[in-house]
Amino acid sequence: MAKTSESLAERLEREGKKNLLFFEKLSPEDWEKQVYSDGAAWTVRDMFTHVVETEQTLPRLFQGIISGGGGVGDEFDLDYYNESKVVKAGETSPQVLLNTFAERRKETVKFVTDLAEEDLLKIGSHPFLGNAEIAEMVKLMYIHVQLHIRDVRNVIKED
């Protein structure tokens, strides 16, 4: 079944609310727990900073592709980019991150709602998926957060 802009936007909105509920329930100590041991060894706060940053950068990528661009180039280093965005954001408080995510997700939902069917079919290079349709890239936005939440749950469960 083909995804419509409305169905994708509804899913983004619904998942965004679930994401916020999950992160709002974390204790101050949980936000400082290390989730990943590779790369920059992100804490929960770092990982959520990454999620908040992608909520802004991916719609810009989509718009570029829709406008005729090809997406990210072959030389794009996803790990370097993600880590540098988190470092640049600094030690943002969890509440500011939550508020920023809520606002950015609202903007993403509006952006996706306004996409035409032909926009969803446009193909470009996504930093993780490679060449893919915009519809698939949008789906990855909510799956991406779900995967990170799974990782956080695993860390919190260990305590």
Q: How many domains does the chain have?
A: 1
Cβ atoms within 10 A of the Cβ of 55, count? 24
Question: Rounded to whole angstroms, how far apart are CA atoms 25 and 6?
Answer: 29
DSSP states of the chain as a string? -PPPHHHHHHHHHHHHHHHHHHHHT--HHHHTSB---STT--BHHHHHHHHHHHHHHHHHHHHHHHTT--BS-TT--HHHHHHHHHHHH-S--HHHHHHHHHHHHHHHHHHHHT--HHHHH-EEEETTTEEEEHHHHHHHHHHHHHHHHHHHHHHHHT-
Q: Give the pLDDT score at 96.
A: 96
Locate 157 and state its tokens.
């469960």
pLDDT tens digits, 39-84 = 778 999 999 999 999 999 999 999 999 999 999 998 998 888 888 8
Q: What CATH code is carried by the domain that includes residue 106?
A: 1.20.120.450
pLDDT in tens, 106-159: 999 999 999 999 999 999 999 999 999 999 999 999 999 999 999 999 999 755
* CA nearest neighbour of 5 among 104, 141, 102, 119: 119
Model confidence at 1: pLDDT above 60: no
Question: Which two three-digit tokens encode residue 50?
Answer: 């990454």
Name the residue range of residue 108's domain. 5-24+32-157
